[in-house]
Amino acid sequence: MPALEEDYDKHWFLAVVDLSEKQVYQFDTNATKESKARRRRVIQCILIALNGIVATEGYKKLRSKGTPEFASMEIMAAPGVPKNSSSTDSGIWVMQWMAMRRRFTYAVLPILDKEKIRIKMAIALLTGRCNEESGALLAKSAAKTGNRD
């Protein structure tokens, strides 16, 4: 779950719920003692909201399988997160972590190729199902490059 802390320095961080371990990992490139505690309170609010969401009628089947108590999960700092005193690139880090999807790992490598991530995200947004013009964009691209695949 991406979260933006607007009140201080417009810093993005990520909370990942590990249902098998019943833990929440906090990915934060600019975590000081004060900001870590403040951002954990934000994560705790999100977890409380998740409890409310899964308590609704739409999640009845899930509840029958034993719904986790999100708000009681331990919040831990993710290992290997690089320290970056600037919040400028925090959103890019969050995008990179989210792009991992099922390949996600909690022990991350502190390597960030900002331009590569920006290009990948732009392509994903332009060609994604949510973009009504993606078909036309792909057709124009294929016509210009001679690629018919």
pLDDT digits (tens, 9 = 90+) for 8-32: 678 888 888 888 888 898 888 888 8
Please tell me whether the overall predicted TM-score, pTM, comes out greater than 0.75 for this model.
Answer: no
- Secondary element (H or E) of residue 15: strand 11-18
Tokens linked to 112:
């960030």
Q: List beta partners, residue 13.
A: 3
Q: Which three-class secondary structure state does DSSP give residue 102?
A: helix
pLDDT confidence of residue 34 = 84
pLDDT confidence of residue 73 = 92
Tokens linked to 91:
């959103």
Enumerate residues 6+ apart whose C-beta is below 8 A from 80: 106, 107, 108, 109, 110
pLDDT class for 64, splitting at 50, 70, 90?
low
Using the predicted structure, report yes or no on whether residue 148 has a pLDDT greater than 60: no
Which is nearest to 1 in space by CA: 56, 58, 48? 48
Compute and round to an integer the Cα radius of gyration of the chain.
19
- Cα 139-143-145 angle, rounded to 5 deg: 115
Tokens linked to 74:
């331990």
